[in-house]
């Protein structure tokens, strides 16, 4: 038995299903799906386009609600707490990285990262100092005061990674974080994401179509016919 099995569970799904309804038509995307993600664990989820990978990530992040089953975050059932408590728990526990960076165009790289702390009411000076340290860690020391339009695609994703990590989350949920990059920048960005997550002993749930990136995670799962299958 590995020591990982003794680490605390950060986020989990138990018997989760997701159904979309449109008039009389229904579409079942996920079926009786269960997963546990522990502190410091990196998990990759691969699958065909439209298989429900992003839907699963949104459920784990509390951005959507399951049609059946339970999602727990830090052992709290998201369905049994108030919306305000869900937002607080999500903000304190999770960091999000998407395929598209979603940076605010009128803010510098520094302030795009600092805003994640300002939402928590961290004082401006402290928020900017912590944001600067994260940008240094992802190799953007000289680009802190540039606007997103002045950055390359890879640099924008590095800013997005810094923004996700600046709050010291227990888990980062990453939805195709390198899907919009060329091979060289994809490797650079994923190397940074993986090293920064591991240095903080945070968990990572990665949705990707790139099997080479998935192979670098501790556990690889395939979403097939709405169910998770452990990959070899």
| Predicted pLDDT at 2 | 55
Cα separation, 207 vs 214, in Å, equals: 8
Tell me which of 9-23, 41-55, 182-196, 203-217 is least confident.
Answer: 182-196
Share of the chain above pLDDT 90, in %: 38
Integer CA distances (angstroms), 160 to 68, 126, 219, in order:
32, 19, 24
Q: Which residue do the tokens 């990136």 mark?
A: 213
Q: What is the mean pLDDT of residues 37-47?
A: 92
Helices (H), 99-210: 109-118, 124-137, 153-165, 183-199
| Among 68, 62, 42, residue whose Cα is nearest residue 218 | 42
| Predicted pLDDT at 150 | 95
pTM: 0.88
Architecture (CATH level 2) of domain 3-230? 3-Layer(aba) Sandwich (3.40)
Q: Which residue do the tokens 């998935």 mark?
A: 214
């Amino acid at each position: 038995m590995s020591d990982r099995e003794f680490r605390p569970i950060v986020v989990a799904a138990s018997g989760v299903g997701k159904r979309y309804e449109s008039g009389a038509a229904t579409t079942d995307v996920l079926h009786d799906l269960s997963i546990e993600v522990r502190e410091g664990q990196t998990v990759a989820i691969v699958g065909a386009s439209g298989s429900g990978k992003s839907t699963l990530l949104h459920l784990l992040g509390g951005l959507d609600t399951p049609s059946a089953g339970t999602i727990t975050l830090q052992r709290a059932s998201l369905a049994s707490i108030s919306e305000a408590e869900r937002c607080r728990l999500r903000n304190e526990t999770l960091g999000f990285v998407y395929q598209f960076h979603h940076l605010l165009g009128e803010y510098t790289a520094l302030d795009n990262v600092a805003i994640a702390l300002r939402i928590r009411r961290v004082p401006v000076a402290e928020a900017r100092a912590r944001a600067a340290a994260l940008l240094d860690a992802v190799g953007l020391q000289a680009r802190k005061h540039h606007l997103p339009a002045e950055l390359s695609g890879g640099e924008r994703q590095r800013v997005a990674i810094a923004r996700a990590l600046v709050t010291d989350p227990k888990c980062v949920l990453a939805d195709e974080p390198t899907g919009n990059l060329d091979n060289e920048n994809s490797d650079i960005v994923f190397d940074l994401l993986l090293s920064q997550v591991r240095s903080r002993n945070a968990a990572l749930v990665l949705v990707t179509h790139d099997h080479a990136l998935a192979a670098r995670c501790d556990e690889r799962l395939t979403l097939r016919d709405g169910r998770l299958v452990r990959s070899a």
